[in-house]
Structure 1
Amino acid sequence: MTATGTTLVVGATGTTGSRTAARLAAAGHRVRAASRRATPVPGATAVRFDWYDPATHGDAVAGTDRVYLVPPVGDPDPAAVMLPFLARARTAGVRRAVLLSSSATAAGGPAAGAVHEALPGLLDEWAVLRPSWFMQNFTGTHAHAASIREDGVVLTATGSGRVGFVDAEDIAAVAVHALTDDRAPGTDLVLTGPEALAYDDIARIYTEATGRPVTHRRLTHGQLRDHLTRTAGIPAEFAAMLATMDRTIAEGAEDRVTDTVERLTGRPPHTFHEVVTRETARSAGAARP
């Protein structure tokens, strides 16, 4: 890796942003950790940043030469705020950007797909990370994790469809390389774990790793949509989109693995068993007085 200037990490308190900021700081890079509350991050300078408040953008990007971009959560058209920010960042001296997108979204697709498509025309140095679904969905604050803790069940409309679930630590490791290597990837990188797993497999492995019985309850598209709206309070349009994403998994859209993590980091990606064991041990340690 080459010595760098200063990296702005947008979403520095989130699942991948926090891990990326921590890894950059641990490696000796200067980091500006951006969040809406300017939450302190060890080894980084905390700055306030709100995608919907352009007044926060100038101070956040000042003095930086690269940026890790996490789109605003739940926004169906993030390009409306992200592209003006990127143009401003380029003028301020940013020369490299790494965008967090999704394996389900290609360039020109919905949500971050529009930013992905525009990024090469805005900056010469760039990469788009397209991770599969996070393993941390089953251990953190995601609805699946809450359902496991409360009822010992995972509810999906994925049937027997498989997903190359990926560890957020592996995403962050790739992000650090994309941000700091001598040459930016200049492409999109699909990130997965070492194997594609069905949700039945997820339930089984979680049970084996923790000793807590977990089952996968298969729902129809309509049942999942209604459950998300009624129980989780998710707006009907967004709930329908989430249910449709499950249906695409059932149809095989996420049944793949890539060598990207090992190719860029020099080590294999973590298994789901490793991640569940690690994350539950962390949670147990944090809960002790």
Structure 2
Amino acid sequence: MILVIGGTGTTGRLVAAKLAATGHPARVASRRAVAGGVHFDWYDRSTHAPALNDTTALYLIPPVGDADPAPIMLPFLDLARRTGVRRAVLLSASAIEAGTPGLGEVQSMLGGMIPEWAVLRPSWFMENFVGDHPHAASARERGEIVSATGDARAAFVDPGDIAEVAVRALTDPTPHNTEHIITGPERLSYADVAATLTDIGGRPVRHRAIDEDALAAYHEKHGLAPDYARLLARLDTAVAAGAEDRTTTTVADVTRRPPRSFRDFCRDRLAGGLPE
């Protein structure tokens, strides 16, 4: 049994669907009630052991909005090991190095706690511009994307590609036992993204560049906790310095097909135009 934590989220629901489609037994763990799933809350430890019942593998989505998830995730992983979990795939981010404070601490310890493992380190999600992310809301409501990235580029990645790499890491006979840096096929600036949204979405979208302090305040204004807002703003500053200006062959290497481009992703998701 594979437990998909965050199984109703952006990548988790795709992982759960792909596992089901390929005949692998999986259970969705979520704070929301899901048919056939199990209740799970990172901050309610009474939900941890029941969710792990009969589980042998885990897809791990860290608690959303928590700048330092290690104190809650590491005890859970210890419990998972003691109850028979042999494989774990952790969703992290390309900007987070193993051993850095917060999620990087979980990355560095995963292989020592669970014998078969993989860490997924995707670049920024294409989904951020069409889903529930503040970028998507801003594009829809104000015709702009706000960032502190300047004119730097990132290789935005389709969540479907991340999910397929995750499923391979969860189910391949040979454990991956490595970190996977996952990117899309091309490096794009936020101005490039705005131009594609304008072209395919049918309404003008522009990129408005601000500095890190202004972006942290912007995120707080839109409901993020101050420490998490600062973390996201700091990551934008890293992008501005070139941290995400790269592509990798991970999707092709693991799945044997090329990653999807941002334009193709938008053609699919914005077939009816940019929502009002």
TM-score under structure 1 normalisation?
0.91
Give the Å deviation of 1:283.
Answer: 9.1
Distance 2:64 2:192 in 1: 28
Distance 1:102 1:162 in 2: 16
Asked whether the equivalents of residues 202 and 273 of structure 2 are also in contact (C-alpha less than 8 Å), the reply is no
Letter in 2 for 1:115: V
Q: In the alignment, which residue of structure 2 is the partner of 1:149?
A: 140
Q: In the alignment, which residue of structure 2 is the partner of 1:205?
A: 196
Asked whether the equivalents of residues 170 and 269 of structure 1 are also in contact (C-alpha less than 8 Å), the reply is yes
Give the Å deviation of 1:281.
Answer: 3.4
Asked whether the equivalents of residues 38 and 49 of structure 1 are also in contact (C-alpha less than 8 Å), the reply is no
1:204-257 deviation line (CA, Å, top 9, x unaligned):
11122222211111112232223223x313343332322221111111011110
Give the Å deviation of 1:37.
Answer: 2.3
1:172-228 deviation line (CA, Å, top 9, x unaligned):
000000000011110100000001110011011112222221111111223222322
Asked whether the equivalents of residues 124 and 156 of structure 2 are also in contact (C-alpha less than 8 Å), the reply is yes
The correspondence for 1:222, drawn from 206, 213, 232, is: 213
Q: SS of 1:15's equivalent?
A: coil
- Consecutive unaligned residues in structure 1, runs of 5 or more: 1-5
1:175 aligns with 2:155: no
Q: In the alignment, which residue of structure 1 is the partner of 2:87?
A: 96
Distance 1:110 1:141 in 2: 27
Letter in 2 for 1:136: E
Letter in 1 for 2:203: R
The correspondence for 1:87, drawn from 65, 78, 84, is: 78
1:33 aligns with 2:23: no
The structure-2 alpha-carbon separation of the partners of 1:235 and 1:59, relative to structure 1 and needing over 3 Å to count, comes to closer
Q: SS of 1:205's equivalent?
A: helix
Distance 2:96 2:41 in 1: 24
Q: In the alignment, which residue of structure 1 is the partner of 2:100?
A: 109
RMSD: 1.6
Q: In the alignment, which residue of structure 2 is the partner of 1:250?
A: 240
Letter in 2 for 1:155: V
Give the Å deviation of 1:170.
Answer: 0.3
Give the Å deviation of 1:280.
Answer: 2.2
Q: In the alignment, which residue of structure 1 is the partner of 2:5?
A: 10
Distance 2:65 2:223 in 1: 14
Tell me the number of residue pairs that the alignment of Structure 1 and Structure 2 aligns.
275
Q: In the alignment, which residue of structure 1 is the partner of 2:249?
A: 259
Asked whether the equivalents of residues 89 and 166 of structure 2 are also in contact (C-alpha less than 8 Å), the reply is yes
Asked whether the equivalents of residues 206 and 214 of structure 1 are also in contact (C-alpha less than 8 Å), the reply is yes
1:232 aligns with 2:227: no
Asked whether the equivalents of residues 136 and 167 of structure 1 are also in contact (C-alpha less than 8 Å), the reply is yes
- Percent identity over the alignment is 52
Asked whether the equivalents of residues 77 and 111 of structure 1 are also in contact (C-alpha less than 8 Å), the reply is yes
The correspondence for 1:61, drawn from 30, 40, 52, is: 52
Letter in 2 for 1:256: R
- Consecutive unaligned residues in structure 2, runs of 5 or more: none
Q: In the alignment, which residue of structure 2 is the partner of 1:19?
A: 14
1:73-100 deviation line (CA, Å, top 9, x unaligned):
1222211111111111112111000000
Distance 1:273 1:110 in 2: 35
Asked whether the equivalents of residues 10 and 33 of structure 1 are also in contact (C-alpha less than 8 Å), the reply is yes
Letter in 2 for 1:262: A
Asked whether the equivalents of residues 200 and 270 of structure 2 are also in contact (C-alpha less than 8 Å), the reply is no
Asked whether the equivalents of residues 76 and 111 of structure 1 are also in contact (C-alpha less than 8 Å), the reply is yes
Letter in 1 for 2:84: G
Asked whether the equivalents of residues 67 and 227 of structure 2 are also in contact (C-alpha less than 8 Å), the reply is no
The structure-2 alpha-carbon separation of the partners of 1:283 and 1:184, relative to structure 1 and needing over 3 Å to count, comes to farther
